[in-house]
């Protein structure tokens, strides 16, 4: 096996196994509960459609009705893995079964990073790039849930990689035209996962345009010799044509809800996101409710959540990329592919810049600009490798290995330390969860930390107690019950007024709920809790007599 | 010579940039390792919490309260005796004689501003008691404000003409902090003000009236005012409007009134349709 493939397969396997092993400790977040439920419904569609093709259209509306705020591809994958692992084989519960689809996409992302890292910087690049991505605690956390942010990140990376291969000189079995077709199909899968993939074709086009300015560089370089067409002397990548044709086709094909009233439903889907509610979000002690939001937000949150040494490597990679472009344009670096540099650089910066825009919703932590992270990882890996080669040309591996150890050891420690509370992870520059709490940053989101108090609830809650789960939706509570994680006799309460036990998940914007709990349950003293570095994430309150 | 030296240093060679990046990565990595390794030693253990709870169980008395530094260290609520109140901030110390400051002196991010503010309002400060990674310090307040009475405490004995509202004692969020108050809510159309008549009694030297809207801010507008009447005469008013989130009181100086039992009435007047609750508190100081 070729070294690149061996490294990629090793990384894919490692991420898959690690995600599967550590997943049960990760709680069900608010969105995930909906997606798992939707996957259950979608799973019933395809057998029905195959059995009765004439009734497929009617069945599409029936089974794809749940959760049409987001498309069908990733949730369809969750449906497949859930059906196979949970229903057919009985190996997992329904939640872990659905999550397996997300683990596969996380493994796919790791493999792509290894392959691309290898092409950019050799074996060390292939080894380092996935580590730079997955040893960021929030990225590692997102590899677990059956949600959409890591899957779309993975598919956007895959699309970009296919685009790059389609525009580069042919190497390997697949022709550059084949890569162009692949980029169209992958874009469709990305669009079929989450709407932020719509930004990808313009971004790729912009990178292509910028890359066409060569300055004093004489040759075209290696990243513009593939599937390139010419119209009136202007060169263009065929991949963009494939994306325009195949992307929407795959989106519609993998989302049967669009098979009826296609255009109005696409309008409704995009309209929902264009007018999306701004959830309140804490930032340096202020609750951001309405735009304009601070431009600094994604930059600062990135700087305070990515482990510092990895952050430095990524910043080094960005600086190196800029320097390579400048040198190439000045005619001093003939070996540099300017289109490749622009592709990596824009892909690394645009998602962050997009969320920095003051009217774009700022909730959700790093997940909304996660598509930038693989590219920052690639740039960081290449920068570390180049550093090793420059500092000790005869034994670069010694330097690279030492730097990798110094960068990854504290990061791996942070990942393990924050697990399973990934959305509450802050880096050492922030002072960890404690320092971030003092600064008044968002403590966590959306209800997954409840999983940490389920064992106590199972032991101590009085029979048939009514539980107010707050940010953990009733759907998730029932999924915990069906998977045997939560006692089946416990009931879901709608608020503190009819609750015997209240599971308060710390959200500054919902603090009134905790205080209402004190009034209704006549106590301000929790009976249990979950803490990260002594910072409360969850506190459980109980009426007298309901906690035994 | 100088030109040659400058020429060799600028522009920096690639190897210089590489060295800079290597040093930065190494420094950040070593700092990260140190931070993770040192973190458990900077935070209290279960034993520390138990020790602090034991001290407070033994030494706390009526009129005492606990203040946390940093404010997020609310594991204390779970660990400490339930009868001890927790102070959400330094602004309102009404009814408190002594404050037990519980701090995490080595916690990342520091202890915040409370210790210094509390020290400024204290007559004496006991020597801090170190309990592992917790520190317990007793502050005896210089001028404790012990109320004669409060509206929340006397609500049960008051005559309430609710005007279509529900009126109850509750703890609600005001500027992210818990405040105990009398909450008036109009679940249906507003039919009139809610009027609370307290039994006649002394009013002391001053009356402090507070009113603020609480509850879901997304549920719409509407405002209200709380009007304080003494012997039928309006003497103070506190306005509660959507954009105004303040627990600062409107104060009526009662020193000019001859000492006698006074009839005190609080009128909560909604202005139009009011979807949120009005949180009102009145305190009489001696």
Dist CA A148 CA A194 (whole Å): 7
Domain termination site, one of B74, B106, B141: B141
Range of B113's domain? 46-141
Dist CA A311 CA A304 (whole Å): 9
Confirm or reject contact between A307 and chain B (CB < 8 A). yes
Domain check: are A486 and A393 in the same one? no
Confirm or reject contact between B171 and chain A (CB < 8 A). yes
The backbone torsions φ and ψ at residue B178, rounded to the nearest 5 degrees and listed phi first, read -80, 130
Domain termination site, one of B77, B109, B141: B141
Residue A431 lies inside a defined structural domain of this protein: no
Average pLDDT over all residues of chain B: 91
A519/B171 CB distance under 8 A: yes
| Low pLDDT (below 50) residues in chain B | none
What are A98-129's pLDDT values in tens digits? 999 999 999 999 999 999 999 999 999 999 99
Token pair listed for B126: 């006991």
Closest CA to B283 of B212, B198, B175: B198
What are A492-503's pLDDT values in tens digits? 999 999 999 999
**Among A residues 499-518, those touching chain B with beta carbons less than 8 Å apart:** 508, 511-512, 514-516, 518
**How would residue A215 be classed by pLDDT, with cut points 50, 70 and 90?**
confident
A387/B18 CB distance under 8 A: yes
A512/B215 CB distance under 8 A: yes
Domain termination site, one of A369, A401, A418: A418
pLDDT at A479 (0 to 100) = 95
Domain check: are A351 and A467 in the same one? no
Residue A153 lies inside a defined structural domain of this protein: yes
Dist CA A94 CA A77 (whole Å): 13
Residue B34 lies inside a defined structural domain of this protein: no
A407/B110 CB distance under 8 A: no
CA B112 to each of CA A17, B46, B76, B98, B105: distance values in angstroms, whole numbers, following the listed order: 43, 23, 17, 20, 10
Residue B192 lies inside a defined structural domain of this protein: yes
Residue A430 lies inside a defined structural domain of this protein: no
Domain termination site, one of A418, A435, A465: A418
Contact A98, A42 (CB under 8 A): no
Closest CA to A306 of A437, A429, A128: A429
Domain check: are A165 and A240 in the same one? yes
- Chain A residues closer than 8 Å to B108 by CB: 431-432, 434-435, 438, 533
**How would residue A173 be classed by pLDDT, with cut points 50, 70 and 90?**
confident
Q: Across the beta sheet with B159-161, what order do the strands follow?
A: B159-161, B194-197, B264-271, B223-230, B233-240
Token pair listed for B121: 């309002």
Q: Mutate one of B18, B24, B42, B70 to test the A interface: name it (highest A CB count within 10 A).
A: B18
B125, burial (CB in 10 Å: exposed 0-12, middle 13-18, buried 19+): middle
What are A27-65's pLDDT values in tens digits? 999 999 999 999 999 999 988 888 988 888 888 888 998
Dist CA A177 CA A168 (whole Å): 11
Average pLDDT over all residues of chain A: 94
Residue A311 has pLDDT above 70, yes or no: yes
Give me the residue from B25, B75, B172 closest to A403, CB to CB.
B25
Q: Which of A306-310, A361-365, A423-427, B89-93 has the lowest mean pLDDT?
A: A361-365
Residue B267 lies inside a defined structural domain of this protein: yes
Domain check: are B153 and B261 in the same one? yes
Dist CA A308 CA A427 (whole Å): 7
Q: Count the neighbouring beta carbons within 10 Å of the beta carbon of residue A291.
A: 12
CA quadruple B170, B173, B174, B177: dihedral positive or negative? positive
Residue holding tokens 């999306």? A276
Token pair listed for A256: 């049967």
- CATH number for the domain that contains residue B232: 2.60.120
CA A384 to each of CA A27, A119, B93: distance values in angstroms, whole numbers, following the listed order: 35, 15, 56
Domain check: are B135 and B98 in the same one? yes
Domain check: are A125 and A182 in the same one? yes
Element (H, E) at A418: helix A396-418
Q: Give how many domains chain B has, as a whole number.
A: 2
CA distance A150 to chain B (A): 26
Residue A225 has pLDDT above 80, yes or no: no
CA distance A251 to chain B (A): 35
Cα nearest neighbour of B109 on chain A:
A435
Domain check: are B54 and B182 in the same one? no
Domain check: are A272 and A217 in the same one? yes
Contact B152, B182 (CB under 8 A): yes
Domain check: are B161 and B261 in the same one? yes
A437/B32 CB distance under 8 A: no
pLDDT at B6 (0 to 100) = 63
pLDDT at A293 (0 to 100) = 92
Residue B51 lies inside a defined structural domain of this protein: yes
Token pair listed for A501: 């036990």
Confirm or reject contact between B11 and chain A (CB < 8 A). no
Domain check: are B137 and B157 in the same one? no
Cα nearest neighbour of B77 on chain A:
A525
pLDDT at A110 (0 to 100) = 98
CA quadruple A519, A522, A525, A529: dihedral positive or negative? negative
Domain check: are B119 and B172 in the same one? no
CA distance A185 to chain B (A): 39
Residue A438 lies inside a defined structural domain of this protein: no
**How would residue A349 be classed by pLDDT, with cut points 50, 70 and 90?**
very high
Domain check: are A76 and A216 in the same one? yes
Q: Which of A64-78, A460-474, B179-193 has the lowest mean pLDDT?
A: B179-193
Domain check: are A21 and A165 in the same one? yes
**How would residue A136 be classed by pLDDT, with cut points 50, 70 and 90?**
very high
CA A498 to each of CA A260, A284, A494, A516, B135: distance values in angstroms, whole numbers, following the listed order: 42, 35, 7, 12, 39
Residue A193 has pLDDT above 60, yes or no: yes
Half-sphere exposure of residue A151, counting CA atoms within 13 Å on the CB side? 31
Dist CA A205 CA A343 (whole Å): 9
CA distance A310 to chain B (A): 7
Domain check: are B201 and B84 in the same one? no
Closest CA to B166 of B154, B155, B175: B155
A413/B77 CB distance under 8 A: no
B109/A436 CB distance under 8 A: yes
Confirm or reject contact between A18 and chain B (CB < 8 A). no
Widest Cα–Cα separation across chain A: 82
A309/B72 CB distance under 8 A: no
What's the ipTM? 0.94
Domain check: are A258 and A389 in the same one? yes
Token pair listed for A287: 């609750």
CA distance A320 to chain B (A): 9
* HEC assignment per residue over A32-71: HHHHHHHHHHHHHHHHHHHHCHHHHHHHHHHHCCCCCCCC
Q: Mutate one of A318, A525, A526, A532 to test the B interface: name it (highest B CB count within 10 A).
A: A525
Residue B14 lies inside a defined structural domain of this protein: no
Please state the rounded mean pLDDT for residues A398-402.
Answer: 98
Closest CA to B206 of B94, B261, B283: B283
Confirm or reject contact between B123 and chain A (CB < 8 A). no
Q: Give how many domains chain A has, as a whole number.
A: 2
Closest CA to A32 of A473, A455, A348: A473
CA distance A233 to chain B (A): 38
Domain termination site, one of B109, B141, B173: B141
pLDDT at B53 (0 to 100) = 96
Closest CA to A374 of A420, A325, A317: A317
Q: What percent of chain A has pLDDT over 90?
A: 83
Residue B17 lies inside a defined structural domain of this protein: no
Closest CA to A131 of A345, A433, A385: A385
Domain check: are B136 and B154 in the same one? no
Residue A443 has pLDDT above 80, yes or no: yes
Confirm or reject contact between A440 and chain B (CB < 8 A). no
Domain check: are B120 and B155 in the same one? no
pLDDT at A137 (0 to 100) = 98
- Chain A residues closer than 8 Å to B44 by CB: 534
Please state the rounded mean pLDDT for residues A401-422.
Answer: 98
Question: 3-state class of A2 per DSSP?
Answer: coil
B28/A309 CB distance under 8 A: yes
Domain check: are B104 and B134 in the same one? yes
Domain check: are A351 and A491 in the same one? no
* HEC assignment per residue over A354-396: HHHCCCCCCCCHHHHHHHHHHHHHHHHHHHHHHHHHHHCCCCH
- Chain B residues closer than 8 Å to A319 by CB: 17
B22/A531 CB distance under 8 A: no
Domain termination site, one of A399, A418, A437: A418
Confirm or reject contact between A386 and chain B (CB < 8 A). yes
Domain check: are B187 and B134 in the same one? no
**How would residue A224 be classed by pLDDT, with cut points 50, 70 and 90?**
low
Per-residue burial over A330-352, b = 16 or more CB atoms within 10 Å of its CB, e = otherwise: eeebeebbbbbbbbbbbbbbbbb
Confirm or reject contact between A406 and chain B (CB < 8 A). yes
CA distance A394 to chain B (A): 14
Residue A433 lies inside a defined structural domain of this protein: no
Our CA angle for A212, A217, A222, nearest 5°, is: 65
Contact A200, A186 (CB under 8 A): no
A438/B109 CB distance under 8 A: yes
Dist CA A465 CA A545 (whole Å): 10
Range of A83's domain? 3-418
Instruction: List residues bridging with B212 in a β-sheet.
Output: B279
A466-468 vs A281-283, strand pairing mode? unpaired
pLDDT at A267 (0 to 100) = 94
Residue A307 lies inside a defined structural domain of this protein: yes
Domain check: are A304 and A360 in the same one? yes
* HEC assignment per residue over chain B: CHHHHHHHHCCCCHHHHHHHHHHHHHHHHHHHHHHHHHHHHHCCCHHHHHHHHHHHHHHCCCCEEEEEECCCCCHHHHHCCCCCCECCCCCCCCCCCEEEEEECCCCCCCCCCHHHHHHHCEEEECCCEEECCEEEEEEEECCCCCCCEEHHHHHHHCEEECCCCEEEEEEEEECCEEEEEEEEECCCCCCCCEEEECCCECCCCEEEEEEEEECCHHHCCCEEEEEEEECCEEEEEEEECCCCCCCCCEEEECCCCCCCCECEEEEEEEECCCCCEEEEEEEEEC
Contact B211, B226 (CB under 8 A): yes
Residue A423 lies inside a defined structural domain of this protein: no
pLDDT at A223 (0 to 100) = 55
Q: How many residues does chain A have?
A: 548
Residue A435 lies inside a defined structural domain of this protein: no
Domain check: are B160 and B274 in the same one? yes
Cα nearest neighbour of A517 on chain B:
B171
């Amino acid at each position: 096996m070729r070294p690149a493939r061996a490294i990629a397969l090793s990384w894919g396997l490692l991420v898959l196994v690690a995600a599967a092993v550590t997943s049960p400790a990760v709680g069900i977040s608010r969105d995930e509960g909906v997606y798992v439920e939707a996957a259950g419904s979608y799973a019933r569609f395809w057998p029905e459609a195959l059995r009765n093709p004439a009734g497929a259209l009617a069945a599409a509306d029936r089974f794809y009705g749940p959760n049409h705020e987001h498309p069908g591809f990733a949730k369809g994958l969750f449906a497949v893995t859930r059906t196979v692992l949970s229903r057919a084989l009985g190996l997992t519960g329904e939640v872990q079964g659905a999550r397996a689809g997300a683990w596969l996409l996380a493994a796919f992302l790791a493999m792509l990073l290894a392959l691309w890292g290898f092409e950019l910087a050799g074996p060390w690049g292939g080894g380092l790039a996935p580590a730079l991505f997955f040893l960021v605690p929030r990225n590692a956390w997102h590899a677990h849930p059956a949600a959409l942010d890591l899957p779309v990140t993975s598919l956007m990376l895959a699309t970009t990689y296919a685009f790059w291969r389609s525009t580069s000189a042919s190497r390997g079995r697949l022709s550059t035209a084949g890569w162009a077709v692949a980029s169209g199909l992958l874009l469709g899968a990305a669009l079929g996962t989450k709407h932020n993939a719509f930004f990808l074709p313009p971004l790729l086009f912009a990178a292509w345009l910028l890359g066409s300015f060569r300055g004093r560089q004489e040759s075209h370089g290696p990243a513009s010799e593939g599937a390139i067409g010419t119209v009136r002397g202007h060169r263009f990548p065929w991949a963009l044509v494939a994306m325009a044709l195949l992307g929407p086709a795959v989106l519609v094909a993998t989302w049967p809800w669009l098979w009826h009233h296609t255009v109005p439903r696409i309008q409704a889907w995009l309209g929902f996101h264009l007018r999306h509610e701004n959830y309140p979000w804490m930032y340096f002690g202020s609750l951001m409710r309405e735009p304009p939001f601070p431009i600094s937000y994604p930059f600062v949150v990135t700087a305070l959540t990515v482990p510092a040494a990895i952050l430095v490597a990524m910043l080094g990679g960005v600086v190196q990329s800029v320097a390579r472009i400048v040198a190439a344009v000045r005619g001093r670096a003939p070996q540099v592919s300017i289109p490749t540099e622009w592709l990596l650089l824009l892909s690394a910066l645009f998602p962050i810049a997009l969320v920095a825009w003051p009217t774009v919703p700022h909730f959700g932590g790093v997940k909304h600009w996660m598509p930038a992270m693989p590219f920052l990882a690639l740039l960081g890996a290449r920068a570390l490798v180049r550093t090793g080669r420059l500092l000790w040309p005869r034994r670069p591996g010694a330097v690279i290995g030492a730097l990798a150890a110094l960068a990854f050891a504290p990061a791996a420690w942070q990942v393990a330390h924050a697990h399973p509370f990934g959305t509450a992870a802050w880096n050492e520059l922030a002072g960890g969860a404690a320092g971030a709490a003092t600064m008044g940053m968002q403590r966590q989101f959306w209800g997954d930390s409840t999983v940490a108090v389920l064992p106590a609830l199972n032991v101590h809650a009085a029979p048939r107690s009514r539980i107010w789960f707050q940010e953990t939706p009733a759907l998730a509570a029932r999924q915990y019950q069906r998977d045997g994680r939560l006692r089946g006799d416990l009931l879901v309460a709608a608020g503190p007024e009819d609750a015997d036990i209240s599971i308060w998940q710390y959200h500054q914007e919902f603090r009134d709920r905790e205080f209402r709990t004190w009034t209704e349950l006549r106590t301000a003293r929790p009976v249990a809790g979950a803490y990260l570095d002594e910072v409360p994430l969850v506190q459980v309150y109980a009426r007298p007599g309901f906690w035994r | 010579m100088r030109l040659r030296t400058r020429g060799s240093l600028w522009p920096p060679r690639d190897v210089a940039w590489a060295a800079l990046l290597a040093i930065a990565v190494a420094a950040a990595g070593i700092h990260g390792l140190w931070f993770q390794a040192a973190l458990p030693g900077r935070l209290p253990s279960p034993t520390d919490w138990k020790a602090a709870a034991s001290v407070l169980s033994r030494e706390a008395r009526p009129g005492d309260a606990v203040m946390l530094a940093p404010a997020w260290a609310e594991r204390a609520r779970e660990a400490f005796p339930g009868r001890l109140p927790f102070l959400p901030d330094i602004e309102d110390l009404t009814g408190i004689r002594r404050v037990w400051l519980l701090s995490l002196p080595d916690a990342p991010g520091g202890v915040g501003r409370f210790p210094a503010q509390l020290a400024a309002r204290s007559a004496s400060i006991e020597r801090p008691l170190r309990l592992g990674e917790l520190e317990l310090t007793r502050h005896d307040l210089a001028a404790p404000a012990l109320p004669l009475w409060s509206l929340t405490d006397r609500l049960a004995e008051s005559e309430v003409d609710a005007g279509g509202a529900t009126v109850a004692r509750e703890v609600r969020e005001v500027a992210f902090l818990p405040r105990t108050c009398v909450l008036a809510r109009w679940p249906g159309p507003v039919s009139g003000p809610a009027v609370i008549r307290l039994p006649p009694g002394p009013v002391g030297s001053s009356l402090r009236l507070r009113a603020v809207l609480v509850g879901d801010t997304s549920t719409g507008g509407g405002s209200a005012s709380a009007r304080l009447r003494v012997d039928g005469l309006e003497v103070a008013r506190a306005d509660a409007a959507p954009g105004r989130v303040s627990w600062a009181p409107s104060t009526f100086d009662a020193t000019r009134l001859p000492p006698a039992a006074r009839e005190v009435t609080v009128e909560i007047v909604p202005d139009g349709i009011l979807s949120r609750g009005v949180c009102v508190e009145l305190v009489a100081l001696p």
